[in-house]
Structure 1
Amino acid sequence: MVYPREELYPREVFDPRDVVDPREELDPRGMVDPPKVVDPCNAVDPRGAFDPRSVVDQPKVVDWYNAVDPREGVGSRDVVDPREVFDPRDVVDPREELDPHGKMKVVIGRLQVVFSRAMLFTLGLVFAHSLVDAAVLSILITHLTAEWNEYSLWKAAIVVNVQEGTLAVAHIVFILLSDVWTGPYKMLLCSAAISALGLSLFQVENVVSFYGPLVLVTLSQAGIVVTLRPFFDDQVMSAAGQSTAETQHWTSIVWWKCITLLAAASAAFGLSRINPFGTRSLVSAIIMGSALFWFLLGTKFYSFDEATGSPLRDAAHVMYIAAVTKRNVEYPRTPNQLFQNSSGHVKIPPHVSWLRCLDKAAVVMPQDQEKPGHICTVEQVLGAKSLLKMLPIWMTFLTFSTVSATGSTFFLEEAASIDEDFNFLTFIFWQRLSSFVVTFACGWALEELGRKMKVEQRMILVRMGMGMGCCVACCVAAWINARHWRLVDSMTVSRLVPQYVLLGVMEGLSIEGLDNFFITQVPELTVRYGPAFEECVLGIGKFLTAICIYILTLLWRWFGEDVYSSRLDKYYLMLVVLSSLNLIIYCLVACWYGDWRFPIPAEDDDIETANHNPVDEAVQEILLQHEKDSLPLLEQKAGQDTQTLRSRSFTRPSSPMVAHRRFYSMRS
């Protein structure tokens, strides 16, 4: 049988390449190259009215930005982009305004202040602590001299100075206990509970029994003040999230200062009407207990760290190694003789002659491979030297502390002698108010001026110098009033207002300035100890003031039973002379500091060599094997003879005016 296809196309003639594709017959253009058919850019419009090259490019059709709106005949540039009408990124996230943890941000001009539920529960304890300080402890001398006749003026002044000195010096003890043992949260709970107990025991009528509650309140207030501000700063950081350090700093300052001022106003215009002193203390105890209960309600919202150890152990270890273990070691002559000397310098900064001996702690010795705990890193020595370098400027605040002590002793007794019914707490309010205004106004002005002139650190020193000048002015005003009192029969209480205003101004300038200056001089991990060290120095000044009052009473009888029998004018004149000399000394010390700050710039050392000692390098390699991580801690386990030395990397904030997570001050 012969098939039709074989009849039409014999095998001898048939060529598969000559077969017509039926799909090509459907194309009106005839035979078209397949690639050109697939490419839409070269396709022919089937309507035949357009040139193939004029057909809209397929990608341009997809890109609606250049498409023509068929409804209006206008370009897509005039069409409203639906993504611009509703962009999810432009929608305000309700969690940013008020998330489950209560975080909220308020923007006032350039100032950004955050708020959270954790901060709300913590501010209650801030208010109670500031209220106790203003309503009870700040006017303690009036209670001693008015209600108990056993105390004369000079005895009461000594008791108050010893109490304030103990409160200040205890800062160091409690902050170390908080870091090493309890943690901030437990320390706050214990301190607040003990404070409420001590305040409730002030009802005793025996003079001797009064000291027990006074010791409890004093120590508990020290425990609160050193942990409450860092704890509050932790809540600020948690609420601020990714905000800048400046936002965190101003949030902490604004809330803390405002609540402190509110507590002073409540004490001046509220608790001042509650008498006697025991009843006022009982009301303060109730407020402290209520604040503690309110604080406990917010436990689930808090963010805090447990006790992890104190970085001050590095400084103590460096001083011990340099003074005891390696006191006979020679100073290094090559950079390789210093352990972990990444800078390549022979002398470890800061270059202070009386701190040069601490460099011995980082000198590598052959026997250190057997006892790695007997050597310190260069960074540890640098941190210890930076901390000890603060001693000169701290010493200038001893006289400052003596002048500050008159605000809670002789100034109040002068007001009580003029008018026994006068509300003494109003003076405390004016003092806090002036300090509040100066902290913001003058601090902001000097900060902006320092940024424009690029002399930020010098402006910090100028700020402290202005505070020292106000210290002299305060003594002069007090001397004039005391001198005037001896020449006239009567005097009004209003004449004492300038003394308290100047007292608040000098504290707002000098104390806050010292906090800022400390930040620029020490490692970041040591910044949070600045207020504790400063309070410790002021506490030593209070102890010296008590000794001075006793000596002046014993030798020259400057202080008697009351203000009328005392020569306060001579005492104030002595303070004028001392504060003036102290101002001169401060200027010299400030010039000595200059522009030095902790972020050490790269510099060439005077004694430097490229010679390498293979013995020193071998010892350092052995010591490096004993390092486990980057945190400094000396641990010795029971039954083991070896110690592990861990080194820390010290860093600094990007700007000296931007605070660390512990910010500036712990004081109210």
Structure 2
Amino acid sequence: MEDEAPLLPTTESAVVGGVSDYRGRPVCRGSSGGWRSALFVVAVEIAGSFANFGVAANLITYLTGPLGYSNAAAAAAVNAWSGTASLMPLLGAFLADAYLGRYRSIILAGALYVLGYGLLTLSATLPRSSLGLFYVSLYLIALAQGADKPCGLAFAADQFDAEHPKERASRGSLFNWWYFCMATGISVAVSVVGYIQENVGWGVGFGVPCAVVSCAFVVFVLGTPTYRLPAPSAGGAHGHGHHSQSSPFVRLTRGIFPLPKGEDGDAEAKEEARAEAKCVLRLLPIWASSLAYGVVYAQIMTLFNKQGRTLDRRLLNMELPPAALQALGPLSILLFVPLYDRALVPALRRATGNPSGLSMLQRVGTGMATSLAAVSVAALVEGRRLATAREHGLVDDPGATVPMSWAWLVPQYAMLGLADLLAVVGLQELFYDQMPHGLRSLGLALYLSIMGIGGFISSLLISLIDTLTASTGDSWFTDNLNRAHLDYFYWLLAGLSAVELVLFFAFSRSYVYNSKNYLSKTLVSM
């Protein structure tokens, strides 16, 4: 310690290479970046998650209630919207990495959030507002997420210098605690906002998220003087899109589809483009084998919600709104993140020698296995709920409360929360760490598209199964859930999850980590 003390002031005042402040000036380590800057970004992302889940968690109730949709139509509409919101980051990543940069993309997202949630509040408040205004506001929010989601986490991670040992270690913890913070926002949203929507009014219930994102937007802007942005000459290295070289997407295209010999610049540039393309292409099998996870994830805000509405939701002297049950997943994340980061990771680190405890792919695979177990438990619980309805003669009474406690849903929500901590955080880190520096927004967009395409697959499956089963009797998703068969659908998802796990295992065993980004270059052994 005596040898290190004199170096501390020099270290803190050292200029950080490759980055600048918002005016293009060099920045010192002690006055920029790190947790201080990352927390400004975390604030706006917590608000975004709060607002998104404050609307999405109870959206199916709004559609089947005030808007008069059927269960199947409402679930398909919610899945289509959430799927679009999760796919829009692919467009947002392109704009961020090639043109706008992450900082300006988040600024754009903030403006779109305020506009989208403002119009949504207006649509629920005006007595004769059109359905068109409602959908315009929803898809403005989806567009905002496209600009925000691939950039928020990447911009927060950019505040840590990967070449500095202490900051690199902090960046590793960021991925765990990031999800902890998001879970905090989600927990409050589905509990408080859901209650306001059903007991005070939908206009107020949508207005609260609008107010929160507006305040968070101001907070993010206030952090501007502390942020590390790519230096004007280093855009290509840091992936914010402002540089004199060709954009990352142009280089990626040329790496995948090389031009004839003698064109497309020098040999070094061609080799770099091929290396970048290789990084992206070898992640695609992992991406494809993760889609079934996105299908299971889509049920949390739709069919799980409808299940909960039929159960006895009394807690002490109050009745819980169905959307509040969705807080069980985020609450489990709030419990598991500290245990995982502070207890399990150190133990696994000693056992495996891996600084992260589990490799990124091992973590994702463990999460997928947990998701498979969760949807199997959901099928068993739904089978029990249907049997209870039959025992009490409630099959033809869709409005009756089935004499079965909401606590039966705790295991499936908690297990999916744990699966999120493992699989979602693992996918976030994998698609950030293993992408070329200039394409990291694209990497996080690819991760988000897993949830988006999963939502679309879920929407397609529900619509197809609804049509097929309704032609021969009661649909699996009939509005009278006591005659429906959500348990059959959950077993179908369990089968898809099992196939996914086998494919993921096969692809992950042959994956070699990019040693420039990841500390080990070993074959994954799961």
Please tell me the TM-score bracket, short chain as reference.
Answer: 0.7 to 0.9
Q: Note the C-alpha offset of 1:270.
A: 3.7
Q: Select which of 383, 391, 398 maps to 2:291.
A: 398
Q: Select which of 470, 483, 488 maps to 2:370.
A: 470
Q: Note the C-alpha offset of 1:212.
A: 0.8
Q: Distance in 1 between matches of 2:164 and 2:272?
A: 29
Which residue does 2:473 correspond to in 1?
none
Is 1:513 the equivalent of 2:406? no
Q: Note the C-alpha offset of 1:485.
A: 1.6
Aligned pairs (5 A) from 1:81-120: 115-116=35-36, 118-119=37-38
Q: In structure 2, do the counterparts of structure 1 residues 304 and 424 end up closer, same or farther at CA, with 3 Å as the change threshold? A: farther
Q: Note the C-alpha offset of 1:197.
A: 1.6
Q: Distance in 2 between matches of 1:471 and 1:255?
A: 21
Q: Note the C-alpha offset of 1:114.
A: 5.6
Which residue does 2:209 correspond to in 1?
284
Q: Distance in 1 between matches of 2:405 and 2:56?
A: 25
Aligned pairs (5 A) from 1:308-457: 308=242, 310-321=247-258, 365=261, 368=262, 371-373=263-265, 377-418=270-311, 421-439=319-337, 441-442=339-340, 445=344, 449=348, 452-454=351-353
Q: Select which of 197, 221, 226 maps to 2:115.
A: 197
Contact 1:477–1:499, Cα closer than 8 Å, also in 2 = yes
Q: Distance in 2 between matches of 1:143 and 1:574?
A: 27
Which residue does 2:62 correspond to in 1?
143
Is 1:226 the equivalent of 2:142? no
SS at match of 1:286: helix
Contact 1:119–1:235, Cα closer than 8 Å, also in 2 = yes
Q: Select which of 143, 153, 171 maps to 1:249.
A: 171
Which residue does 2:492 correspond to in 1?
574
Q: TM-score normalised to the size of structure 1?
A: 0.62
The structure carrying a bigger helix percent of its residues is 2
Q: Select which of 287, 298, 301 maps to 2:223.
A: 298
Q: Note the C-alpha offset of 1:415.
A: 0.9
Contact 1:397–1:538, Cα closer than 8 Å, also in 2 = no
Q: Select which of 513, 518, 523 maps to 1:597.
A: 513
Q: Distance in 2 between matches of 1:269 and 1:372?
A: 55
Q: Distance in 2 between matches of 1:89 and 1:537?
A: 47
Q: Note the C-alpha offset of 1:406.
A: 0.9
In the alignment, residue 307 of structure 2 is paired with which amino acid? E
Is 1:134 the equivalent of 2:53? yes
Q: Distance in 2 between matches of 1:393 and 1:515?
A: 12
Where structure 2 has 5 or more consecutive residues not aligned to the other structure, the ranges are 14-26, 124-128, 231-239, 314-318, 390-401, 471-475
Contact 2:365–2:504, Cα closer than 8 Å, also in 1 = yes
Where structure 1 has 5 or more consecutive residues not aligned to the other structure, the ranges are 1-83, 106-112, 327-364, 600-650, 658-668
- Tell me the C-alpha RMSD between the 2 structures: 3.6
In the alignment, residue 500 of structure 2 is paired with which amino acid? N
- Cα deviations across residues 369-400 of structure 1 (Å, max 9, x unaligned)? xx345977334223312321222222221111
Q: Distance in 2 between matches of 1:464 and 1:255?
A: 17
Moved more, 451-460 or 380-389: 451-460
Q: Note the C-alpha offset of 1:412.
A: 0.7
Q: In structure 2, do the counterparts of structure 1 residues 547 and 272 end up closer, same or farther at CA, with 3 Å as the change threshold? A: closer
Q: Which runs of 4+ in 1 moved over 6 A?
A: 90-97, 101-105, 455-458
Is 1:542 the equivalent of 2:455? yes
Q: In structure 2, do the counterparts of structure 1 residues 553 and 282 end up closer, same or farther at CA, with 3 Å as the change threshold? A: same
Q: Note the C-alpha offset of 1:525.
A: 4.3
* Count of residue pairs brought into register by the alignment: 460
Q: Distance in 2 between matches of 1:432 and 1:158?
A: 24
Q: In structure 2, do the counterparts of structure 1 residues 388 and 419 end up closer, same or farther at CA, with 3 Å as the change threshold? A: same
Which residue does 2:126 correspond to in 1?
none
Q: Note the C-alpha offset of 1:554.
A: 1.1
Q: Taking CA–CA contacts closer than 8 Å with sequence separation of 6 or more, which of the two structures ends up with the larger relative contact order?
A: 2
In the alignment, residue 398 of structure 1 is paired with which amino acid? L
Q: TM-score normalised to the size of structure 2?
A: 0.77
Q: Select which of 183, 197, 204 maps to 1:261.
A: 183
Contact 2:378–2:490, Cα closer than 8 Å, also in 1 = yes
SS at match of 1:587: helix
Q: Note the C-alpha offset of 1:144.
A: 1.2
Q: Note the C-alpha offset of 1:188.
A: 1.7
SS at match of 2:228: coil
Contact 2:255–2:270, Cα closer than 8 Å, also in 1 = no
Q: Distance in 2 between matches of 1:269 and 1:546?
A: 26
Which residue does 1:339 correspond to in 2?
none
- Cα deviations across residues 226-281 of structure 1 (Å, max 9, x unaligned)? 222233334455xx995624343156346534432332343245434423232111
Aligned pairs (5 A) from 1:514-529: 514-518=427-431, 521-529=434-442
Q: Which has the larger radius of gyration?
A: 1
Q: Distance in 2 between matches of 1:193 and 1:514?
A: 28
Q: Distance in 2 between matches of 1:241 and 1:286?
A: 39
